[in-house]
Chain A
Amino acid sequence: MTEPEMVTLTESQRKARRSRSIAIGLGLALLVVIFYVATIIKFGPAILDRTF
């Protein structure tokens, strides 16, 4: 391991990183919603059945 160094990003690099971060965040949130709703749809009313 070599010694880490801090890099100061330029304005355009900072803006680009922010835009990528927002897009990734929205993408992940959409994925969570899709899997949540699809799970309920696929299980149907049985998802509320708590008897074992």
Chain B
Amino acid sequence: MALVEKSTLHDGGFRMSEATAGDFIALLKPRVMSLVVFTAFVGLMAAPVSINPFIAVVAILAIAIGAGASGALNMWYDADIDAVMTRTAKRPVPSGRVLPGEALGFGVILSILSVLTLGVLVNWVSAALLAFTIFFYAVVYTIWLKRWTPQNIVIGGAAGAFPPIVGWAAATGSITLESVILFLIIFLWTPPHFWALALFKSEDYSRAGVPMMPNVAGAASTRRQIFAYTLLTAPVGVLPWLLGYTSVAYGVVAIALGLGFIWYAWKVLLMPDSDRTMKPAKAMFGYSLLYLFGIFAAYLADSIVERLLAMPGV
């Protein structure tokens, strides 16, 4: 039984929630969260400072919850366009399992909780960066840029690129060039990744009225821009080795992954307008995920080996 006020009960729009805990977990965008956790962990491990393992786990958990909270705020605001896109129609808010107000409250509370936990238990530099990341994704990208400009994911991509900087700041309490390079890799990788998706999902975005690059500038221009951003991303991926932050092993992996990325972008560039299956774009999208994972996994492995070699007696 539940106690409610009569006026609220008979107010038309009222209904008791049927949202389960699983629906609220879905609001956190677990797949996006896993990438955030991974890149933040690499930032934390790459930092030249030792941090207590428990505090490190708390830092990663807080960053993950903060990222999830911004996902919930995104789903609250974007419920109307999510409902008309096949890829997102089954999300908890457009499908009616979670009420918009519940998603908003959930996102706001988790945002505050994650930032305060990071600040109190780790440090306030990383907490401030996490707060800025949430604000950037929820307000600057979701509310402002996404429905306004085809550069939405270029500028908004910064939100997804911040986690390694937050992880690094959690360990060191500062921002350095090395962490900024990790940021740049994700920042420059975002446009080719999302535009490859937008090419074969352009009808979805068109129906939702979201001005993605293929819908505004056309497929040919998008293909050229994908190639241009890939040409920028590949060398930046190699920068950590060129600047002496990593060993040559990382450099070799980054060069190989970068050449693969350029190869897939080249195939997209050559893709004719008449190609309805858009296999090159789909392959590019898949490879882009592999590229980012590969680059950060190599960076992580390099950091771990460096730490092991620096241990006394090794």
Contacts and interface: CB of A to CB of B under 8 A. Distances in A.
A18 to B, nearest CB: 9
A17 B21 CA distance: 9
Nearest to A26: B21
B16 A41 contact: no
Contact of B22 (A5, A19, A41): A19
Nearest to B16: A13
Interface residues of B, number: 24
Interface stretch (B3-11, B40-48, B134-142, B144-152): B3-11
Contact of A4 (B4, B52, B113, B117): B4
A28 to B, nearest CB: 11
Contacts of B309: none
A16 B20 CA distance: 5
A4 B6 contact: yes
Nearest to B102: A20
Nearest to B1: A6
B207 to A, nearest CB: 31
Interface string A6-26: 111110110111011011000
21 contacts: A2-B7, A3-B6, A5-B6, A6-B1, A6-B3, A7-B4, A9-B2, A9-B16, A13-B16, A13-B17, A16-B17, A20-B21, A20-B24, A31-B113, A34-B121, A38-B54, A38-B55, A38-B121, A41-B54, A41-B55, A42-B55
